Amino acid sequence: MSLDAARGLLACPRCAGPLTLDGGSVGCPAGHRFDVARQGYVNLANAAPPANAHTPAMLAARDRFLASGLYDRIADDVAARVAGAGAATVVEVGAGTGFYLGRVLDAVQGARGVALDVSPAAARRAARTHPRAAAIVADVWQPLPLRSGRFGAVVCVFAPRNMPEFARVLAAHGLLVVVTPTAAHLDALRARHGLLGIEDDKDERLLRSSLGLFEAIARNRLDYRVRAPGAAVRDLIAMGPNAFHGVPDDVEDAEMHVSVTVSLFRRPAG
């Protein structure tokens, strides 16, 4: 069962006590229990998914797009950062299908991880992403159902960031890897198809949110252009928040400008 990968890492969302796997459920010493879904994930959100949670159609589009290899350079960069830190336990927040976590676990022999997302549909897919990954439904804006100081790395790729909670779950000197789009990311595609914009000060706001919690150790820009077939471009639009506003039918092959910042933070001791 994939939840074995989360042994010693999960916390009860009701009382914060340690959760242990017992047959078809997980439970804490206070008696709170949560059933494991037949697909192998557990829902610790304590609430219905929000309206903006990824749908099965969005996740299918994400699977297809990521399988195209067009974001492999991002995944490889993230995996190399975590491998360089030697993290034995990793959580990907806002994990979706768990694609980036799977790459990290492939790169770090023996490491185990947790894919955390607010969407049950995402958890169903993430539960299959890697034999050393567990999938959990949880809301990143709430206290994470993870034990304090138990993770060597937190990975957050194009996902919401709860910096105080990231700091809490990381061990001393643990690594936080955050990938954010620059204002130039997918610029031509955004102009052509009227896609949502990207704030110019995204990286600066990230740095401000880390103050008092993390030491900023590196910030690197990953920038490349690649030719994308029309089907992949359509999946790119359909896998993100633009899907809620409709996916255009007139999507053709296009040059895709990928431009992201990979920011690295270290949790200080004490």
- CB contact at 8 A, 45 and 137: yes
Contacts of range 193-202, beta carbons closer than 8 Å, 24 or more positions apart: 193/237, 193/242, 193/248, 193/251, 195/237, 195/242, 196/241, 196/242, 196/245, 202/261
Output the pTM of the full model.
0.95
In this structure, the number of other CB atoms found within 10 A of the CB of residue 193 comes to 18
Blockwise average pLDDT, block size 10, the chain, 270 residues = 88 96 92 94 89 90 96 98 96 97 97 97 95 96 97 97 98 97 91 78 88 95 96 91 75 93 93
Q: How many CA atoms within 13 Å lie on the side-chain side of 91?
A: 31
Report pLDDT for 202.
80
pLDDT at res. 203: 83
d(CA 248, CA 263): 32
Residue 22 CB partners (closer than 8 Å, separation 6+): none
Res 189: pLDDT = 87
pLDDT of residue 137: 97
Q: What pLDDT score was predicted for residue 200?
A: 76
The pLDDT of residue 1 is 46
Give the separation between CA 152 and CA 157, rounded to whole angstroms: 17
What is 39-266's CATH superfamily?
A: Vaccinia Virus protein VP39 (3.40.50.150)
